[in-house]
Amino acid sequence: MSGTGSTSSISITISTPRGPVRGQWRPASVTRAAAILLPDAPGALGGPFHLFDELAVRIQRSGASVLQLEQSVDTFDGRLVCLLSALTALRRQGVQRMALIGWHSGAALAIAAGSASESVTGVAALAPDTSCADLVAEVAPRRLLLMHGSADNVVPSVASRLLYARAADPKELVIFPGEAHDFSVFHQEALDKLAVWTRTLLRSPFKPRKLRRDTGDAYAEHPEAPSAQDAEVALPSAL
């Protein structure tokens, strides 16, 4: 069900310890839930073959808000600080359930941030590498979805298989036969899978969960964790 809700988007800027981070905010009717889309290349808002652009519209029409976060910092550590700042800002605005969806290096970011934040209820990783393999077990009890192409010549699908083996339940692995790194062969199937997964995750009733480890203030674990003053964003009234 694609829905018939608004598809409007608004440019926003989030203050972080590494400088301003920009993105596109797509407000929707479910004010306590949002999907955060994390592309691979710095400065790119879209995903492979505009998969994320299409996914953002599908999620928004289903009733959940979407933040397409621009990756404007080159280093992984810097991008993680920016992502944690964005999650802090959304949480301060009342967003209680967040789904992180990342492609390639964005997938590693999603796993790293999702393993720490109690506001994150699920992580979807597309064509991830194994740079965050030591953190993937900590994603539980949040839902984990791994998607990969068997013909990926940038990051072999064995990377997702390894992450799946190390992850704890609930987890799911989808390998598309003959698919490349950019999900161009099974584009529609990948889009449908992500849309249904995200909608199910974010539209279900909010229930506080006991995490595998006591996160407390999860962001305090990072040396440049955003404080309440550092993580600021003025979201539209629709939130």
Residue 83 lies in a domain: yes
For residue 234, pLDDT over 90 is answered with no
Asked if residue 211 is part of any domain, the answer here is no
Predicted confidence at residue 227, as pLDDT, reads 41
The region, left, alpha or beta by phi > 0 then psi within -120 to 50, assigned to residue 26 is beta
Helices (H) and strands (E) in the chain, counts: 5, 8
CATH code (residue 196) = 3.40.50.1820
Going by their DSSP bridges, the two strands 30-38 and 97-103 should be labelled as parallel
Q: How far is CA 40 from CA 102, 129, 136, 158, 220, in A?
A: 8, 12, 19, 19, 26
Token pair listed for 39: 């592309």
- Flag whether 39 is in a domain: yes
Signed CA dihedral, 73, 79, 84, 86: sign only: positive
Question: Within a domain: residue 97?
Answer: yes
Q: Which residue has the higher pLDDT, 219 or 79?
A: 79
**Of 168 and 210, which is predicted with more confidence?**
168
Q: Does residue 23 belong to any structural domain of this protein?
A: yes
Provide mean pLDDT across the span 207-233.
42
First to last CA, the chain: 23
Report yes or no on 46 lying in a domain. Answer: yes
How far apart (Å, rounded) are the C-alpha atoms in residues 200 and 197?
Answer: 5
Tens-place pLDDT, residues 143-188 = 999 999 999 999 999 999 999 999 999 999 999 999 999 999 999 9
What is the residue range of 21's domain? Answer: 10-204
Q: Flag whether 101 is in a domain.
A: yes
Choose among 40, 56, 44, 49: nearest CA to 184.
Answer: 49
> Quick one: which of 41, 89, 40 has its CA closest to 65?
89
Asked if residue 184 lies in contact with residue 156, where contact means CB atoms within 8 angstroms, the answer is no
